Amino acid sequence: MSIDITAAVNLHREGRAATPSLISAWRAINAVAAAGYSGHLMIVLDRPDDETALLAKTWHERGAQLVACDEGDLGSARNAAVAASDAEWVAFLDADDLWSENWLVNALKVAGGISTSNGPDVLHPAVNVIFGDHHSLLHHRSSDDPSFSWARFRLHNAWTALSFARRRDLAQLPFPRNTLDEGFGYEDWSWNMAVLDRGGRHHVVADTCHFIRRMDEPSLLSNSRNALRSPYLHDDEVLPRPQAAVVSDLTETDDGLPSTHRQEPHGLSAELLDQVRLAVGIEPAIAQTLTEAGRPHSLPQNFNTHVTPAQRALESVELACADSTIASISEAMDASNELRELDPDDQHRVVAEVLRSAHAARLPLGTSAMIDSTYRTYPQLTSLAPVRD
């Protein structure tokens, strides 16, 4: 009998601190069964310590599948989960985060109604509650939302790593390995981009939530701050232009947000508030996020959609590249007033993204002072130096 969903939880050295995550995954799988679907909990043990391995053993005795690997890398551990699964869909959870209890059920319902596309279909929750040392709400947008911006996505990841996708798509498009020692990271951002590169889509599941623990102590995210996205994923990578908003066409409001992204309509629905209350019963620390500013929708809400000068500069360079009178990418950079007006940090980040993308598309660059300065700021780009020839 075919299985609808594998709920894969990645464990490393979290020990008993992983218990809330496992409880939330267990409840979500039970909700799957109650709704008439089939699914199972999978625990991926990637170089665990003794305490974490012992915790996983107790959950194995309750029926969870154990998968051991020696990767030392989140993306590679997710690939191991895919290889060990025989379900149609796979959903990922990291051991310091939680799912809303309705996440898997609602995602399966949405997945059943998705029309066939040319590439992978990936599902994400509507909202992420950030808790721990930081408190905010992150609202996801579907890639076919009229306000989705290609320029924004190239500078800021639009979706978290805790996604839901078909096993066959995940097998054909594995997560890249983080190579922070080489200066490249953000395996989830690179993979999210690759989905669109192959004609896929990112969908949002209404009234669902993930709870993301964000701490000040060193983490993969914090260690990736000075890294760039993976410069390439596959030899056949191209840079398409999906249907998306053009940053320069968006009308800004006085608070710097596009008119399509006013904060007021984005409060939590009654169903989602019920899901949050259930999660607080598992992890009380989540409650602090909800009371930090009085009401959930009063918290800082990061849509990854602010129209920043850096986004406008990146778009202006791309528009210049499309101008038949511009002979090279370096000349396109020189033609961008928006790029020249950025502060040095933002300018280097935009130029680094242009260099990374040019490498992926096998495009020659030419030479310029801005390129030379960016190579000094991001020495990992020297591995892409042949593109300059």
**How far, in Å, CA of 132 to CA of 130, rounded?**
7
Which residue is it, tokens 């959903």?
91
Under 8 Å between Cβ of 81 and 174:
no
CA dihedral 79, 136, 206, 31 (to 10 degrees): 60
Q: How do the pLDDT tens digits run along the chain, 389 residues long? A: 579 999 999 999 999 999 999 999 999 999 999 999 999 999 999 999 999 999 999 999 999 999 999 998 889 999 999 999 999 999 999 998 999 999 999 999 999 998 776 789 999 999 888 888 877 778 888 888 877 777 778 877 889 889 999 999 999 999 988 887 788 878 888 899 889 888 889 999 999 999 999 877 655 555 566 678 776 655 554 444 444 455 555 544 444 444 333 344 456 788 988 998 999 999 999 988 776 443 444 444 444 445 678 888 888 887 787 777 777 888 888 888 889 999 998 899 899 888 887 776 677 778 888 888 998 988 888 877 555 44
Under 8 Å between Cβ of 38 and 1:
yes
CA 164 to chain centre: 12
Residues of the chain with CATH 3.90.550.10: 3-229
Return the half-sphere exposure (C-beta side, CA atoms, 13 A cut-off) of residue 343: 2
Q: Which residues, at least 6 apart from 155, have a Cβ–Cβ distance to it below 8 Å? A: 308, 310, 311, 314, 349, 350, 353
Dihedral sign (CA 38, 44, 50, 51): negative
**How far, in Å, CA of 126 to CA of 138, rounded?**
9
Superfamily for 3-229?
Spore Coat Polysaccharide Biosynthesis Protein SpsA; Chain A (3.90.550.10)
